[in-house]
């Protein structure tokens, strides 16, 4: 079983010297200025919450309500595995009353900074690390570490929501009743979403319940909702797909006559297009079934810019594409 403590201290991959220097400079800027007063919300000021991903910011906004101003460092289309922290990020971390991040090394190159921030005593919560280890995936290609994409199992995201509520309460105890009431109102929406996903996936013919994407972000989704999931890249986009990976996936698609594969909003489309071409060379045609939101939500102000809307979009896209008959074989 992976050691969670060791896993969080190290970076996902060996970082280049230039990146390491940048991290050191960011840490120096953050800690050299001293810690601001935390939790002193005088004059009715809202609790300033800085998150890494939009999914976590959405949780903070739903649970915090009017008491919280939630800001995500990583916006739409941003890949958290490869995200490089900027000087502007330091300012947002310095100003935050509470920092929320996913953990399980989702944040890749920011992991070192986030661990150091937590050690400094600044209120910092890794929301996914509240989930019991027995509920986490440990993919073979991710040996010694857990799959961080927990939000695609709605039942696990409920546990993350609970941890966010606790983190907000720790930062502002006077608002505990409000945070708890907001959580109590939000959890039924997650339950409804969970039922929706199950009902929709059940519409896909069993032989076509195969989700093929650019990287293995949907493992929890597949495990919870009964779909086989294949990602061209591994659990992290920091890994690269080989020509052999492309050919093996193309062989699977052609052999099982799968109607569709999917691109992701935060991952370049070229690798999936390569799979499509390899399938065509085998005399079978597979379509791009649509774009899924994997590691980032959609644009703010759109339905896909919320967690609930993002998951519904993904499910609707998957079901529409996988319930369609295969297109005519390539000439």
Please report whether residue 224 resides in a domain: yes
162 and 277 housed in the same domain: no
Using left for φ > 0, alpha for ψ between -120 and 50, and beta otherwise, residue 54 falls in alpha
Number of domains in the chain: 2
Averaged pLDDT for residues 50-70:
98
Q: Which of 144, 179, 197 is the last residue of a domain?
A: 197
Please report whether residue 329 resides in a domain: no
Q: Which of 197, 212, 245 is the last residue of a domain?
A: 197
State the pLDDT at residue 11: 33
126: domain CATH number is 3.40.50.1980
Bigger pLDDT: 117 vs 149: 149
Beta strands in 39-122 (DSSP E): 47-51, 68-72, 98-101
111 and 225 housed in the same domain: no
Please report whether residue 330 resides in a domain: no
Among candidate residues 243, 237, 244, the one with its CA nearest the CA of residue 213: 237
Burial class (CB in 10 A: 0-12, 13-18, 19+), 142: buried
Bigger pLDDT: 187 vs 45: 187
Task: Assign 43 a pLDDT band (cuts: 50, 70, 90).
Answer: very low
36 and 140 housed in the same domain: yes
185 and 66 housed in the same domain: yes
Q: Which of 182, 197, 212 is the last residue of a domain?
A: 197
Averaged pLDDT for residues 31-60:
74
316 and 169 housed in the same domain: no
State the pLDDT at residue 326: 72
33 and 64 housed in the same domain: yes
Residue 23 has pLDDT above 60, yes or no: no
Bigger pLDDT: 260 vs 29: 260
207 and 127 housed in the same domain: no
pTM across the whole model: 0.84
Please check whether residue 279 is in contact with residue 253, taking contact to mean a CB–CB distance below 8 angstroms. yes
**98-134: pLDDT as tens digits:** 999 999 999 988 988 888 888 888 899 999 988 999 9
Name the average pLDDT for the chain. Answer: 85
Residue 13 has pLDDT above 70, yes or no: no
Averaged pLDDT for residues 42-68:
93
38 and 184 housed in the same domain: yes
Q: Contacts for 24-33 with beta carbons within 8 Å, 24 or more apart?
A: 26/85, 26/87, 26/89, 26/90, 26/113, 27/112, 27/113, 27/116, 29/87, 29/90, 30/90, 30/93, 30/94, 30/113, 30/116, 30/117, 31/116, 31/120, 33/94
252 and 184 housed in the same domain: no
Please report whether residue 327 resides in a domain: no
**152-164: pLDDT as tens digits:** 999 999 999 999 9
210 and 246 housed in the same domain: yes
Bridge partners of residue 291, in order along the sequence: 263
CA 60 – CA 79 distance, rounded (Å): 20
Cα atoms in the Cβ-side hemisphere of radius 13 Å centred on 138: 12
Averaged pLDDT for residues 223-241:
76
Please report whether residue 136 resides in a domain: yes
Percentage of the residues of the chain whose pLDDT score is greater than 70: 82
Q: Which of 291-318 are b and which e, b meaning 16 or more Cβ less than 10 Å from the residue's Cβ?
A: bbbbbbbbeeeeebbbbbbbbbbbbebb
Phi first, then psi, for residue 232 (nearest 5°) are: -65, -45
Please report whether residue 59 resides in a domain: yes
Please report whether residue 313 resides in a domain: yes
Averaged pLDDT for residues 284-297:
94
State the pLDDT at residue 242: 74
Bigger pLDDT: 328 vs 1: 328
Least confident range from 33-47, 163-177, 269-283: namely: 33-47
Q: Which domain holds residue 172?
A: 4-197
């Amino acid at each position: 079983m992976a050691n969670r403590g060791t896993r969080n201290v190290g970076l996902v991959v060996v970082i280049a010297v230039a990146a390491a220097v940048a991290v050191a400079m960011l840490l120096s800027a953050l800690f050299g200025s001293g810690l601001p007063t935390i939790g002193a919300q005088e004059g009715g000021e809202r609790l300033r919450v800085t998150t890494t991903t939009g999914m976590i910011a959405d949780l903070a906004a739903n649970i915090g309500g009017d008491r919280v101003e939630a800001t995500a460092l990583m916006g739409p289309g941003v890949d958290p595995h490869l995200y490089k922290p900027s000087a502007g990020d330091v300012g947002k971390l310095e100003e935050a009353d509470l920092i929320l991040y996913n953990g399980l090394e989702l944040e890749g190159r920011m992991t070192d900074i986030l661990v150091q921030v937590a050690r400094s005593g600044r209120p910092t919560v890794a929301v996914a690390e509240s989930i019991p280890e027995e509920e986490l995936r440990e993919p073979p290609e991710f040996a010694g570490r857990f799959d961080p994409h927990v939000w695609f199992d709605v039942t696990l995201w409920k546990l993350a929501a609970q941890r966010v509520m606790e983190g907000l309460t720790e930062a502002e105890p006077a608002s505990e009743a409000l945070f708890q009431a907001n959580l109590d109102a939000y959890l039924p929406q997650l339950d409804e979403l969970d039922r929706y996903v199950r009902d929709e996936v059940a519409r896909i013919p069993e032989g076509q319940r195969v989700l093929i994407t650019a990287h293995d972000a949907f493992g929890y989704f597949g495990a919870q909702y009964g779909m086989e999931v294949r990602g061209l890249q591994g659990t992290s986009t920091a890994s690269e797909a080989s020509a052999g990976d492309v050919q093996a996936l193309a062989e699977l698609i052609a052999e099982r006559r799968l109607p569709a594969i999917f691109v992701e909003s935060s991952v370049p489309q070229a690798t999936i297009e390569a799979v499509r071409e390899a399938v065509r060379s085998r005399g079978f045609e597979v379509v791009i079934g649509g774009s899924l939101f994997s590691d980032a939500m959609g644009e703010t102000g759109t339905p896909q810019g919320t967690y609930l809307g993002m998951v519904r979009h993904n499910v609707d896209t998957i079901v529409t594409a996988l319930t369609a008959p295969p297109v005519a074989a390539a000439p």
